[in-house]
Structure 1
Amino acid sequence: MENEELKAIAAQLRQPHGSKGIQVSDMMHESNINMTRQTIKTLELSANEEVLELGHGNAGHLQYLFEIEKTVRYYGLEISELMHAEAKQINKSFADHKQAFFFMYDGMDMPFGNDYFDKGYTVNTLYFWEEPVKMLQEIYRVMKPEGIFSIGFAQKSFMEQLPFTQFGFTLYDTKTAEALVAKTDFNLVKSETQVEQIKGKIGGMLSREFTILTLKK
């Protein structure tokens, strides 16, 4: 692939848009569903909790979240207008029943007050945080005392094999991700690494190693 093609893929993964955005979001949902489910599991959801997600994509995974605990209230934040609209359409029933709420944001400042959420998570967005320490501190602000936030990300050793990650991605291994958390007010309570088989974004099957960091306020 030419650099321009790789740059276009990277830009879509960061912020799906335009005529190819829906296709990209469907692909991301398929390739990330196991990682997303495993990240949600680490939250150990309880009744009536307020749950935050950053970068939900098309949010096709919400059915799974509500199967675990139907009484939680979900709040999704997106930088992509296309994904914001797609998530609301796919999850119209949850939105109509005031179970799911979707918001746009600028990728940093969250439209919520302090100590708002019991639980929260994000999957495959860490690479795109321009100011990761500041981002984590903003997450810390909106979490309730004792609140849990989990971060799912693919290991650097896997990501650096993908040609498009040279454009706009910051890659992490467990050590560098944990060092990032250590610069914030969060406490790292668990770090878990798994391996899965996924379809490659440009074809074929790939073995992907991913890690979930579980943080506590």
Structure 2
Amino acid sequence: MKKQRVPETNHGITGEMLVQDYDEMQKKLCERGLLKTNEIIKSGIIEGEVLEIGPGPGYLGLEWLKKCSNASLSWLDISEDMIKLAKINAEKYGVKENLTIKMGDATEQLPFSDCFFDGVFTANSLHEWENPVNVINEIERVLKVGGNFFIGDLKRNTNPLIFLLMKANLKKQVMKQGLKSSINAAYTKNEILLLLKESNFKTYEVTENYFGLSIFGKKVDK
């Protein structure tokens, strides 16, 4: 029997303690080389004006900027607390001159012009979008023709043994609960393919591994 999806909050991560806990977790993933930086580069997002939706503490985008020196990155996050922390982390990386930060809700409308970005990426935020097709269409709108996008996320049909392994790497109970909640709110590969079929994108691919899903795509002429 297929496990039913349980939607999660779309208000982002807020509160000083929770934000610090999430920062600690993401920092450890970064140190272990477990962020999706290489997948983003593999998708063809390597230069120009690029948008990251839901950067959280910023490690994914900051690591990507280190490897893509001919790019400028814009961050859009719904959480004011997370933006404050991301700014601090950006200072430590020394890449503020290539970074623009905005607060906003991607589930409504992206605050950018049509055909503005050469690339768009996001990780671990898809399961929080109240209307994912609307966000995907907004990504398509702000992308230039020929621009690439990447969406990475967890998957709901994660093997229970893999889930236990992931949970074992988290020290605090609140983060373990958050992982369970996020997996319950995540999609399966087939569900993602159905969402993409409803969207304005025509060129895309969905892959999966033990830990989650990766969506690669390009905006083409209609």
Give yes or no for TM over 0.5. Answer: yes
> Aligned in 2, Cα 1:25/1:169: closer, same or farther, shift over 3 Å?
farther
Within a 5 Å distance, the mapping from 1:50-129 to structure 2 comes to: 50-92=49-91, 93-95=94-96, 97=97, 99-108=98-107, 109-129=109-129
Q: Tell me if the contact between 1:149 and 1:214 (Cα under 8 Å) persists in the aligned partners.
A: yes
> Aligned in 2, Cα 1:82/1:159: closer, same or farther, shift over 3 Å?
farther
Please give the alpha-carbon distance, in whole angstroms, between the structure 2 residues aligned to 1:80 and 1:91.
16
- Using structure 1 for the length normalisation, give the TM-score: 0.77
Quick one: which of 192, 211, 214 aligns to 2:213? 211
* 1:86-118 CA distance string (max 9 Å, x none): 1111112312x2x01111002322111010111
Say which structure, 1 or 2, has more relative contact order (CA 8 Å, 6+ apart): 2
Stretches of structure 2 that go unaligned for 5 or more consecutive residues are 1-7, 164-175
1:119 is paired with a residue whose SS is strand
**Amino acid across the alignment from 1:113:** S
Q: Tell me if the contact between 1:50 and 1:72 (Cα under 8 Å) persists in the aligned partners.
A: yes
Please give the alpha-carbon distance, in whole angstroms, between the structure 2 residues aligned to 1:120 and 1:107.
12
- Which structure has more strand as a fraction of its residues? 1
Please give the alpha-carbon distance, in whole angstroms, between the structure 2 residues aligned to 1:213 and 1:168.
17
Between the two proteins, the alignment pairs up a number of residues equal to 192
Report how far residue 159 of structure 1 moved.
Answer: 8.4
Report how far residue 38 of structure 1 moved.
Answer: 3.8
Stretches of structure 1 that go unaligned for 5 or more consecutive residues are 1-9, 196-208
Report how far residue 151 of structure 1 moved.
Answer: 0.7
> Aligned in 2, Cα 1:29/1:141: closer, same or farther, shift over 3 Å?
farther
* 1:155-175 CA distance string (max 9 Å, x none): 211288676545896321111
**Amino acid across the alignment from 1:86:** L
Please give the alpha-carbon distance, in whole angstroms, between the structure 2 residues aligned to 1:176 and 1:54.
21
* 1:19-72 CA distance string (max 9 Å, x none): 33212222134347624224322332344x111111101112344212322010
Report how far residue 212 of structure 1 moved.
Answer: 0.7
RMSD: 2.7
Please give the alpha-carbon distance, in whole angstroms, between the structure 2 residues aligned to 1:159 and 1:139.
30
Please give the alpha-carbon distance, in whole angstroms, between the structure 1 residues aligned to 2:184 and 2:11.
10
**Amino acid across the alignment from 1:21:** V
Q: Tell me if the contact between 1:115 and 1:145 (Cα under 8 Å) persists in the aligned partners.
A: yes
- Using structure 2 for the length normalisation, give the TM-score: 0.76
Alignment correspondent of 2:138 = 138
> Aligned in 2, Cα 1:179/1:11: closer, same or farther, shift over 3 Å?
closer
2:157 is paired with a residue whose SS is helix
Alignment correspondent of 2:204 = 189
